[in-house]
């Protein structure tokens, strides 16, 4: 099988040695291209207090192609659909090999702080976010409390 690119090794080491606050990413035991991720809900956002599990996979031609990332924990957010898929430009056409696992996860954390209902992925959520923001935020808090807690 193909050797693991050294860039991936270097990123993994740095993620371990200098973790980003509020984010942890650990490679899977048997596939070093597959990362288990926890993103902490940012303060002053409806996701505050939640721990969100994500999965991140580095495709064969990473870093030339973007990582594939999705939420595993349910989340009520206009830019994240029911399957956990994320609407974020740097994961699509704005990807550049100068970005890293850590920058991707930081952008996702920033997306939790600043939902953007005008560029929706989850249509019903985005709709409510636009017509009745306070109810949408209540829902997001409720989902966080119900699904994204730790024991």
Partner 1 sequence: MEMSLKTNERVQEELEALEAILMDDISISYNERGCPELIKTTIFPSTANEVDKQYVCVTLEVKLPEEYPDCEPLVQLRNPRGLDDSTINHLYKSIKDKCAENVGQPVIFELIDLIRENLTESNLPTCQCAVCLYGFSEGDSFTKTQCFHYFHSYCLANHLSITKRHFQEEQDKLPAWQKSTKGFQATCPVCREMIECDIDELKTAHPPKELESAQKFEVTNDLRLLQERMRQLFSYQKSKGGIIDIEAEENKLLLITQSSEETASSESTEDPGPSLSNLNDPVLENGVLKKSQRCDVKMNSSDR
As annotated, the active-site residues are 87
Q: Exactly one of 20, 22, 34, 137 binds partner 1 (CB under 8 A); which one?
A: 34
Name residues contacting partner 1, limited to 40-79 (CB under 8 A). Answer: 51, 53, 55, 57, 61, 63-66, 68-74
Smaller CB distance to partner 1: residue 69 or 136? 69
Q: Which residues pair with 37 in a beta bridge?
A: 25, 54
Number of Cβ atoms within 10 Å of the Cβ of 35: 24
97 forms part of the interface with partner 1 (CB under 8 A): yes
φ, ψ of residue 17 in degrees (nearest 5): -75, -40
Per-position b or e across 124-147, b if 16+ CB within 10 A of its CB: ebbebbeeeeeebbebbbebbeee
84 forms part of the interface with partner 1 (CB under 8 A): yes
Per-position b or e across 87-112, b if 16+ CB within 10 A of its CB: bbeebeeebeeebbbbebbbbbbebb
18 forms part of the interface with partner 1 (CB under 8 A): no
9 forms part of the interface with partner 1 (CB under 8 A): yes
**By the criterion CB under 8 A, which residues form the site for partner 1?**
1-7, 9-13, 16, 24, 26-34, 36, 38, 51, 53, 55, 57, 61, 63-66, 68-74, 81-88, 91-92, 96-98, 100, 121, 146-151
């Amino acid at each position: 099988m193909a050797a693991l690119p050294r860039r991936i090794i270097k990123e993994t080491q740095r993620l371990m040695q200098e973790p980003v606050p509020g984010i942890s990413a650990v490679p899977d035991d048997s596939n070093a291209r597959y990362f288990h991720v926890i993103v902490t809900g940012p303060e002053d956002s409806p996701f505050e207090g939640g721990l969100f599990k994500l999965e991140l996979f580095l495709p064969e031609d990473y870093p030339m192609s973007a990582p594939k990332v999705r939420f595993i924990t349910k989340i009520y957010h206009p830019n994240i659909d029911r399957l956990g898929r994320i609407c974020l430009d740097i994961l699509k056409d704005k990807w550049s090999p100068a970005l890293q696992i850590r920058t991707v996860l930081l952008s996702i954390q920033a997306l939790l702080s600043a939902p953007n209902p005008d560029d929706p992925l989850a249509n019903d959520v985005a709709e409510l976010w636009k017509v009745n923001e306070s109810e949408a935020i209540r829902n997001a808090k409720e989902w966080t409390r119900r699904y994204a807690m730790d024991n």
